[in-house]
Structure 1
Amino acid sequence: MPKEINFDEFDQWISARNSEQEEYLQATREIARDVIDVYNENQDYQQYDVLRRLSLPERIIHFSVTWLNDNNDVEINQGWRVQHSGLIGPYKGGLRFHPTVNESILKFLAFEQSFKNALTGMPIGGAKGGADFDPRNRSEAEIMRFCQAFMTELQHHIGPNTDVPAGDINVGAREIGFLYGQYRRIHNRFSGTLTGKGLSFGGSHVRTEATGFGLIYMLRAVLEHHNHKIDGLTVGVSGAGNVAMHAALRAIQLGAKVVSLSNSRGCLQYSKGFSENDIRWAIDHKPENKNVLTALQEKIGGDWHADKKPWHLKMDIALPCGTQNELDEEDAQALTNNGVKYVLEGANMPCTDAAREHFEDQEILFVPGKAANAGGVAISGLEMSQNANFQRDSYNEIDDTLQDIMQSIHAKMVENGTRDGKVNYARGANIAGFRRLADAMVAQGI
């Protein structure tokens, strides 16, 4: 029998099964609040219990990774692959190597990835994986051996029509190369099993820039919808990784004034606004500097705020591109006091629930990461297509397609999130992604 459900009932059900997994519970609650009315209005969704079924991963793979360090000592790490939803295509999502990686974080990321991938309109499911391996202070040979050992276990569960991993934190082009090389040796097959590959062996143009560039293309779409332009606006960026750097770069190229970058050690404020050359220098010199932001300060000046985040600065637009839950309610209040008008998530869930609620209460336009940072997985999807067709599109062709995809995601959020002439982008993203997944689940039966 079809049965309606209220939020409290859902929350009790999901919490009882995942009581110690706060990141995962935060993500599922955020989706449920926005889509529960849609669920209750559709008898098919109720009949097939899609809300609860979409909240649980289809499969969690947990394995040990045993390898030798440079001293020939045995080391053991834990690895995971959370295959959350394969309803609309092969599982797709990044691999993260970091000592904080655990099952809760990967379940949250895989859950978010499923809705993000649904928003792109592409035939790709959602997954996430990684290991509690810390690559800091490791030699390149140790990183290679770890990647090979990790892939020796993971390769049983992936493939171009099953699950296509990509990079994430501490898994860049070098690591993807090591991982792909091991997969190819084991299977004696050259296929699109990983994305984020180098251009010399099946990679795509724009993949490195995609998430950061896509974030700015989404920002431009949001501004245009509200009759504003990016030119001359002040932008604050947190983070100093791939997403943050390329978001800053593209924003500057489109005429914005970017006044901050940050990392776990502090925040670099440059009130005059970084130049394109400043950001390119930081990108090029990051590998050789323990702290590229203090190195950049020594080169161009600016103010270094140790152990600080950029959210106390005056800005029109905030782009949190660091890590989950980096922007809390106190930070949100500081941004409001300084006149922020737009907040777009470049990282995965960098704003706490309290911060998001504050932005909504203050009618500050907020775009969630599942929509704003979808550019990376969109280009991964295009890399899969190029691999399948044994072709490579040009840089400009890929960049144009990325812009079209971000415009399409924006249109879906406006369609599903507009009430009384105002757009709630978070609600629009959640409902649009949910409907695509729920319809596929109903069509495929129990």
Structure 2
Amino acid sequence: MVNNGYRVQFNSALGPYKGGLRFHPTVNLSVLKFLGFEQIFKNALTGLNMGGGKGGADFNPKGKSDNEIRKFCVAFMRELNKHIGADTDVPAGDIGVSGREIGWLFGTYRAQRGRWEGVLTGKGGSWGGSLIRPEATGYGLVYYVDHMIKYATGGKESFAGKRVAISGSGNVAQYAALKVIELGGTVVSMSDSKGSLIATDEKGFQPDHISAIAEIKVQRKPLTALENHPFKYVAGARPWKEVGKVDVALPSATQNEVDEEEAKVLIDAGCKFIAEGSNMGCTIEAIEVFENHRRANKGDAIWYAPGKAANAGGVAVSGLEMAQNSQRLRWTSEEVDERLKGIMKDAFENCLATAKEYVTPAEGEFPSLVAGANIAGFTKVAAAMRDQGDWW
């Protein structure tokens, strides 16, 4: 069997190339170029010194033995090691590349290059990894939305008392759910590729339910295993049409999981805040529905946050892992979490201020966070390139 491997190094004006490695049969050069382009601006919004890149292979881990996956990681890194380094390009995990695969890739890099350096992020805690990294994307998503809620309500409201619909059941969805519960919100849904699990009582999902879901995911079982608890499983459906009244929606599964019709359903259900935990969780048509509602309703509009800002917490903590590796230090969970909170606060304020500066809203109209995120990321990278003489 022959597989094609890739690494797209897109822009390093702000720092070493940074972006995940994806093992999936759909991987090709075109997909990775697009993902790498998006990664440039997401990384810029963190405020950390990271450029943008992406990589992976059209290798399908499904149906392979552990040893076959390990051997592929070794073969892949034997070539990739020539092009990466702690100050050159620092890959991370992505679809099909978990902490286990990062370990095999890192061990091969160390054997090939004969030195230990922070060349990959998402490493094990005892050999250079950062605390809070598994939780970072989900936690960061909730921190970002918390700032949206507080700004939109003049500080009068928070997650407390909010009904929150979440899609997905992986790391992002699990930790977003736990943080929502911690902040006083009620999680009313989660999902997998086969359907949605909807809470049937007022308490919604509890931490022990999230732990059960995590165990189910490790065992690679469907969420139907939790049916007939205080939940119902709706096969073949995403959560958005099934949850009823909802205040916050957090698509956290995959791309294009909220379409135009579902966007309208969410608005009709009273949803005021939607933020992408997944990359490009909303279709272009859905985003236009949200943006049109924002323009038309001014002070009573829905707030939409794109993934490049809202889910940047994961790559932000990867950047913090790089910093810890450079200093040969290990920060506590509390230190990393505080830095993550600061990064997500700065990202929200940057998107908000940029939208106000470049996309002047009508009187009383909410600023466009999607425009703010796109412009803020681009202008930061463009300014660095100009300062470095990349164009005149």
TM above 0.5: yes
- Are 1:382 and 2:320 counterparts? yes
Name 1:297's counterpart in structure 2: 227
Q: How far 1:435 moved relative to its partner?
A: 1.0
Task: Look up the SS of the partner of 2:49 in the other structure.
Answer: coil
Name 2:306's counterpart in structure 1: 368
Identity of aligned residues (%): 51
Question: 1:289, 1:295 within 8 Å by CA — same for their partners in 2?
Answer: no
Name 1:431's counterpart in structure 2: 375
Task: Look up the SS of the partner of 1:359 in the other structure.
Answer: helix
Q: How far 1:416 moved relative to its partner?
A: 0.7
Name 2:297's counterpart in structure 1: none
Cα distance in 2 between the residues matched to 1:406 and 1:97? 28
Q: How far 1:341 moved relative to its partner?
A: 1.0
Q: How far 1:249 moved relative to its partner?
A: 1.3
Name 2:345's counterpart in structure 1: 407
Name 1:275's counterpart in structure 2: 206
Paired AA for residue 429 in structure 1: A
Cα distance in 1 between the residues matched to 2:59 and 2:169? 21
Name 1:116's counterpart in structure 2: 42
Question: 1:249, 1:280 within 8 Å by CA — same for their partners in 2?
Answer: no
Task: Look up the SS of the partner of 1:240 in the other structure.
Answer: coil
Unaligned runs of 5+ in 1: 1-74
Cα distance in 2 between the residues matched to 1:142 and 1:306? 33
Q: What does the per-residue CA deviation read over 1:258-294, in whole Å, with 9 as the maximum and x for residues that have no partner? A: 1111121111111331001111222234211322x12
Cα distance in 1 between the residues matched to 2:209 and 2:96? 23
Q: How far 1:243 moved relative to its partner?
A: 0.8
The number of residues matched between the two structures is 370
Paired AA for residue 256 in structure 2: N
Cα distance in 2 between the residues matched to 1:271 and 1:427? 37
Cα distance in 2 between the residues matched to 1:296 and 1:384? 39
Pick aligned residue for 2:257 from 326, 331, 335: 326
Pick aligned residue for 1:241 from 167, 170, 182: 170
Question: 2:74, 2:108 within 8 Å by CA — same for their partners in 1?
Answer: yes
Cα distance in 2 between the residues matched to 1:142 and 1:403? 39
Question: 2:196, 2:233 within 8 Å by CA — same for their partners in 1?
Answer: yes
Runs of 4+ in 1 over 6 A off after TM superposition: none
Paired AA for residue 104 in structure 2: F
Task: Look up the SS of the partner of 2:10 in the other structure.
Answer: strand
Name 1:20's counterpart in structure 2: none
Question: 2:200, 2:230 within 8 Å by CA — same for their partners in 1?
Answer: no
Q: What does the per-residue CA deviation read over 1:195-218, in whole Å, with 9 as the maximum and x for residues that have no partner? A: 000001100000000000000000
Q: How far 1:297 moved relative to its partner?
A: 2.5
Name 1:139's counterpart in structure 2: 65
Name 2:333's counterpart in structure 1: 395
Cα distance in 2 between the residues matched to 1:152 and 1:297? 45
Q: How far 1:138 moved relative to its partner?
A: 1.6
Q: How far 1:427 moved relative to its partner?
A: 0.8
Question: 2:170, 2:217 within 8 Å by CA — same for their partners in 1?
Answer: no
Question: 1:109, 1:348 within 8 Å by CA — same for their partners in 2?
Answer: no
Q: How far 1:378 moved relative to its partner?
A: 0.5
Cα distance in 2 between the residues matched to 1:353 and 1:368? 11
- Are 1:224 and 2:154 counterparts? no
Paired AA for residue 365 in structure 1: W
Q: What does the per-residue CA deviation read over 1:373-396, in whole Å, with 9 as the maximum and x for residues that have no partner? A: 000011000100000100000000
Paired AA for residue 202 in structure 1: G
Unaligned runs of 5+ in 2: 295-301
Question: 2:163, 2:248 within 8 Å by CA — same for their partners in 1?
Answer: yes
1:14-413 mapped onto 2 (5 Å cutoff): 75-227=1-153, 228-272=157-201, 273-291=204-222, 293-297=223-227, 300-312=229-241, 313-314=243-244, 315-363=246-294, 364-413=302-351
Cα distance in 2 between the residues matched to 1:107 and 1:267? 32
Q: What does the per-residue CA deviation read over 1:320-376, in whole Å, with 9 as the maximum and x for residues that have no partner? A: 111111211111122122221111010111111110000111122100000000000
Q: What's the TM-score, normalizing by structure 1?
A: 0.81
Paired AA for residue 266 in structure 1: G
Task: Look up the SS of the partner of 2:101 in the other structure.
Answer: helix
Q: How far 1:103 moved relative to its partner?
A: 2.2
Cα distance in 1 between the residues matched to 2:119 and 2:39? 18
Name 2:299's counterpart in structure 1: none
Q: How far 1:301 moved relative to its partner?
A: 3.9
Cα distance in 2 between the residues matched to 1:168 and 1:269? 27
Cα distance in 2 between the residues matched to 1:424 and 1:85? 26
Cα distance in 2 between the residues matched to 1:297 and 1:166? 35
Paired AA for residue 116 in structure 1: K
Paired AA for residue 227 in structure 2: Q
Q: What does the per-residue CA deviation read over 1:26-83, in whole Å, with 9 as the maximum and x for residues that have no partner? A: xxxxxxxxxxxxxxxxxxxxxxxxxxxxxxxxxxxxxxxxxxxxxxxxx211111111
Q: What's the TM-score, normalizing by structure 2?
A: 0.92
Task: Look up the SS of the partner of 2:54 in the other structure.
Answer: strand
Cα distance in 2 between the residues matched to 1:102 and 1:236? 33
Cα distance in 1 between the residues matched to 2:226 and 2:94? 24
